[in-house]
Amino acid sequence: MSVFEIVKGCEGDCLILDDTRIAGPKPWGGGTVVKRFETKKEYGEVIEHETCEMRSVPTFPGTDSTFRSLECSACGMTNDENNPKFCPNCGAEVRK
């Protein structure tokens, strides 16, 4: 199985294959994963994984409450789970 990722870096998009940058304007450095694909060798198919970021937002907006929730950047739903690997609502993989 191989994993392909499209990463948006400071100098443009690049392609990563199994944790190694193989194409793009800057073959080293950081960036944000925009799309993630997996291959299954036995079937020869590519599976796309939706990714998201969990942002901290006020649980009770417009009040003095200090309670915070996490909001999914893909679907906008909030949840109180700490450091989820996947969004419990849409199933998108949370980027770290």
For 22-43, write each residue's pLDDT tens digit: 888 765 566 788 888 887 666 6
Neighbours of 91 (CB within 10 A): 13
**Mean of per-residue pLDDT scores for the chain:** 77
- Cα–Cα–Cα angle for 58, 90, 65, rounded to 5 degrees: 10
Cα separation, 26 vs 11, whole angstroms: 7
- Give 45's pLDDT tier (boundaries 50, 70, 90): low
What confidence score (pLDDT) does residue 80 get? Answer: 77
- pLDDT above 70 for 96: no
Which of 9-23, 28-42, 62-76 has the lowest average pLDDT?
A: 28-42
The pTM of this model reads: 0.45
What are the residue ranges spanned by the domains of the chain? Answer: 3-49, 52-94
What confidence score (pLDDT) does residue 87 get? Answer: 79
Percent of the chain at pLDDT > 90 equals: 0
- pLDDT above 70 for 1: no
